Amino acid sequence: MNLERLRKRVRHYIDQQQYQSALFWADKVASLSHEEPQDIYWLAQCLYLTAQYHRAAHALRSRKLDKLYEACRYLAARCHYAAKEHQQALDILDMEEPINKRLFEKYLKDESGLKDSTTDWEMSQSSIKSSICLLRGKIYDALDNRTLATYSYKEALKLDVYCFEAFDLLTSHHMLTAQEGLERSISQTQVIFTCFLKKIKAVQQVTDSKMLGTENVLNE
């Protein structure tokens, strides 16, 4: 049986929001692959999407994947947060950094280390860090610790300027001063506008190149 095809089937059903179908096949894939980490991660993701939060967290933590992979640590914490077990979620986020992250940083220049430490199912380092800060902010919010919640949301924005949710939570909860809000809004707008201009320039270069090629053919 083609495992890669079944893995794609799991992602397909998740994209289609057919979570029960995704869960069925994720469970089969995890068994067939002898519980490879990526397959347990997607199994836990499907359990999370079907609101089986404790089962999802158990799938990761019983295999200690939350201690090995940042994506698993983040997902396990999200499960406890969704179950309103805020302190447990915070404890998971605040535990020692996963081994794979430390290996990644230690062997960044080593090709084999880089290959072993990053996988296609894990989020990028900047993305996962921002997501963790955002989740930590929500947890502190739930625990009525506005000071640490504010700090966490600001850190999430520093790591990912596109993280509108962090900005929205800061402004809707009046955690930003008027000046901070204005500066943050301007900063985000500048980044988005710069990226937009770069895309326009890239498209224009491709168009000019094609037109030049057409002119050369006509002149021959």
Q: How far is Cα 77 from Cα 66, in angstroms, rounded to an integer? A: 9
Q: What is the pLDDT of residues 120-175, one digit of tens each?
A: 466 777 789 999 999 999 999 999 999 999 999 999 999 998 899 998 998 887 66
pLDDT (average), residues 17-38: 97
What does each C-alpha distance from 208 to 106, 164, 201, 205, 213 come to in angstroms?
44, 35, 10, 5, 9
pLDDT (average), residues 194-214: 60
Identify the pLDDT of residue 17. Answer: 97
Q: How far is Cα 128 from Cα 105, in angstroms, rounded to an integer? A: 15
Residue 117 has pLDDT above 50, yes or no: no
Could you tell me the pTM of the whole model? 0.73
